[in-house]
Amino acid sequence: MLSACGANQQEPGAAGSTEFKKGGTLTIPVESASLDLDPAKSSNLAITTQSLFNRRLTTWRTEPGKPVVPVPDLATDTGSTTDGGKTWKYTLKPGLKFEDGTPVTAGDVKYGLERSFAPLLSGGFNYHKQFLIGGDSYAGPYDGKHLDSVEAPDDSTLIFKLNQAFGDWPWIVSQPAFAPVPKAKDNPQTYGKTPVATGPYRVADRADGQVVLERNPHWDPKTDSNRTAGPDKVIFKLGVSKETSVQSVIHGSGDGKFSFAGPVPASQLAALTANPNAKSRTLEAGGGSIDQVAINTSKPTLADLRVRQAINLATDKASYLVASGGRNRGSIATTNIPPALEGYEKFDVLPAPETGDVAKAKTLLAEAGHANGLDLVLVHQNSAEVTAQAQALQAGWQRAGIRVTLRSVDRPTYTDITMHQDGSGYDLALSRWQADFPSPYSMLQPSFSSKEIGKGGYNASRLADPTVDAAIDNATRQVDPAAAKAAWANADRLITALAPNVPLINSVNTWIYGAGLANFIVPPFPAYPNYFRISLLP
C-alpha cells in the first residue's frame, strides 16, 4: 500500500489524529441521484454505507498496514463448523435491539436473508444463493415459504446448511443480506427508504437530494466494538460528481472540511500533486482489484490459444497505465489474483516488456493463420477516462496487426452485452474487477467459472473449461487457510496460462479527506474508507 499523508498521521493507511470528539456532521458525496438502502438489494462492502445502520453476523476489521480480517458483529464469533465447512453455526450477542427498542432475534436474521431471494429485491450479492441448500429454486418469503437450509431453532441461534464445503462463509455473512429485518415492518416496495436500523445510526430524513442519518438511541456500544459512532449526523449528498466532490474537499469549501472524496479521477490527480495542502490529505491504497480485458473465448477465432496469447503479448500495458493516471494508479498485472489477497503468487506465464512484445505476437498470429492480422470489437463504458484507456489499448494492438474497433456504451448496455446476451456483440471487453470480500474466490469464481456465463454472470471471457471449474471447486472447499492459499494459487496459474483475459494493472485508488476528519482509514483491500470508524477532529 502506498500513502501520502499529513503530518498528524501516525500510521500508513490512516489519516488524522486518533483523538476525536463526539458530535458534528460527516458528509458523504454520492454520484447517484438516488440511494436505495434495502439490504437485500445492496452490494455494499462491509465497511461502507450499509454498515452505519445495518449490522450483520460478522463485519471487517481494517487496521493500517494489516490485512482485513472478519470479526464478530451481531454474532459472538465468526462462525463454527464441525463437518468441514458444510454446516455453520452462529449465536447472537445478548442485548441486541432494533431502533424501536424491540429485540433482534435469529428469526429476524433468517427473514432478512430469505427476502433477498425474492425477484423483486434482486441486485445484491448472490454468493449465499449459490451455497445454501435449496437456494437455486427458492423465491423468497412473500408466498409464505421458507428456506429450510437456514435454521433458527431459538431466538439466538442460526444454522446454515450448505450444498458443499465453503471455507469463506464467515466473509459471506458480513454481506448486507444478513442484516436482520423485522417481518412486521417489511414492505418490500418501500423498505429501502427507511430500513429498521440495528447500527449506531438510523434514517432521519430523505429530502432535497440527500439522506440524513441521526443517532439510533437503541444502539448499545457494549455490543459493538467495531463502530466508533463519532459524528452526530451523517449526510449522504446525492447526485454529486466525483470531480465536484474532490474540488470541495481540496478547498474545504461548504461541507468539504468534514467530507471525503474518491476514488479521485485520473484527470484530477495532477491537481492534488501540485497542491501541497491537498497532497498532505491524500491516501493511496490498492492491490485488491484488477483492470483487465476479457477475451470472448466463445468466438471461433478467439478460441485459439495462440490468438489469445498474441493479444496479451501485443498489449501495451505501460501506455494503459499512463492513460489511467500513471504509476500512482497501479502496477503492471500479470496474474488474476491481485497482491492484496491471500493466495497471490507473483508469476508471468507470458513474459514481455511492459510495452508488449509485438514481434512474438505477430509470430503467434501467423501460426494461427492470421498473418495479415485480424479485426476485433472491444466494448467499454463511455466515460472519458475509460475511453482514453481503450484508445491506448487500441494503439498497442494495432502494432501487431490486431485492428480493434471501439464500441462505447453506457453502463446498462455494457452489462447487457457482456452478462445477459449470447456473446455475439463483442470480442473484447474492458473492465475493472474488484473482489467483493478478501478471498481469491471472489476474483476467480465469478470471472472464470462456467456457471457464470450469461444469465447475469460475470464471466465475460465466456471461458468454459472443466479443469478450471475443478480447480475452482477444489479451492472453494478448503477450510484450512494454508491449503486454501495453495489451491487458489494453483487455480490462478491454470487460468492465466489459458489466456482468457489480459490482466492490465493492479489498480490503486486515491482518496482525499477533509481537514476536519479523524481516523480516515483506507486498507489495501478493499481500497475504500472504513465509514464506521471515521470521526471529526476536536
- pLDDT tens for residues 25-82? 999 999 999 999 999 999 999 999 999 999 999 999 998 778 899 999 999 999 999 9
Instruction: Cell numbers for 229, please give them.
Output: 459512532
Position 1 scores a pLDDT of 21
Residue 492: pLDDT band with limits 50, 70, 90 = very high
Task: Sketch out the chain's domains with CATH numbers.
Answer: 3-234+514-536 (3.40.190.10), 286-508 (3.10.105.10)
pLDDT in tens, 199-231: 999 999 998 899 999 999 999 999 999 999 999
Q: What is the pLDDT of residue 327?
A: 83
| Cβ atoms < 10 Å from Cβ of 24 | 17
The region of weakest confidence among 8-17, 279-288, 290-299, 317-326 is 8-17
Enter the pTM of the model. Answer: 0.88
| Structure-model confidence comparison of residues 493 and 252, the more confident one | 493
Inter-CA distances, 93 with 74, 105, 169, 170, 182, Å: 6, 10, 19, 16, 17
Match 494459487 to its residue by C-alpha cell. 489
Rounded to a whole number, what is the distance in angstroms from the first to the last CA of the chain?
A: 28
Residues in the chain, overall count: 538
Instruction: Compute the distance between CA of residue 404 and CA of residue 483 in angstroms, rounded to an integer.
Output: 42
The three cell numbers locating residue 368:
494461427
Residue 189's CB is within 10 A of a number of other CB atoms, namely: 10
DSSP state of 196: P
Alpha helices in 154-275 (DSSP H): 169-172, 242-251, 266-274
**DSSP 8-state symbol, 418:** I
